[in-house]
Amino acid sequence: MGFIVGTADPARYRRSLLRAAPLLLSRLTRPDTRRSLRYLIRAARWPGPHASDTLYPAHLHLNVQQSARGLGAGETLLRAHLALLRDARVPGVQLSTTTENVAALGLYRKLGFRVAGERQTPLWEPWLGHPARHVVMTLALR
Ligand SMILES: CC(C)(COP(=O)(O)OP(=O)(O)OC[C@H]1O[C@@H](n2cnc3c(N)ncnc32)[C@H](O)[C@@H]1OP(=O)(O)O)[C@@H](O)C(=O)NCCC(=O)NCCS
């Protein structure tokens, strides 16, 4: 019904993305692959604001299936993931979202994340139909 993925090592994350490139290119006939690739190319062209990798090295992304939203799954996933990061003595975590994503902003704020920077971006324009504000949020874990 949902997933959370993350890393405590930004350099490793970038290497993983690069390693995924050949796989994506080999599946270009699939519409979902083309959508993912389009997003990645746009994200590279319009990078979001970024917090310090030293203070907040961990990054994460989570998604809950539409029919299961609002039932506490996102919060449970995120709390479990943050506990793992704390156990691993990771100093902090950062993530990106948009001011349009009211649910994500609500969840992150509830768990203590604060906005560390924001920037107007055309990144999501094909999906939203208008520019949005790209937000980076941070949470210190110790
Ligand atoms: C963001 C997302 C993960 C939240 O997961 P969820 O399981 O629906 O959220 P939960 O039921 O655990 O809610 C936890 C808290 O989040 C906030 N929240 C959740 N949905 C909300 C909404 N529609 N509006 C405002 N706040 C919301 C609330 O603070 C809520 O706490 P509360 O129930 O005490 O008010 C989910 O909406 C989702 O997968 N969205 C699409 C993918 C996405 O945007 N991922 C994040 C990318 S940055």
Contact between 114 and 120 under an 8 Å Cβ cutoff? The reply is no
Q: How far apart are CA 135 and CA 137, in angstroms?
A: 6
pLDDT per residue over 5-18, tens digit each?
A: 999 998 998 898 88
Residue with tokens 């270009």: 28
pLDDT of residue 13: 85
- Domain boundaries along the sequence of the chain: 2-140
Looking at the DSSP bridge assignments, the partners of residue 61 are 5
66: its two tokens: 């539409």
Residue 107 Cα, ligand 1 centroid: separation in angstroms?
5
Indicate which atom in ligand 1 lies nearest the CA of residue 107.
16
Nearest CA to ligand 1 atom 22: 103
Q: Which of 29, 20, 26, 43 is nearest to 126 (CA)?
A: 43
Q: Which CATH architecture has domain 2-140?
A: 3-Layer(aba) Sandwich (3.40)
pLDDT of residue 125: 95
Identify the segments of the chain with pLDDT beneath 70: none
Pocket of ligand 1 (CB under 6 A): 62-64, 69-75, 97, 101-104, 106-107, 110
Element (H, E) at 141: none
CA 107 from chain center: how many Å?
Answer: 13
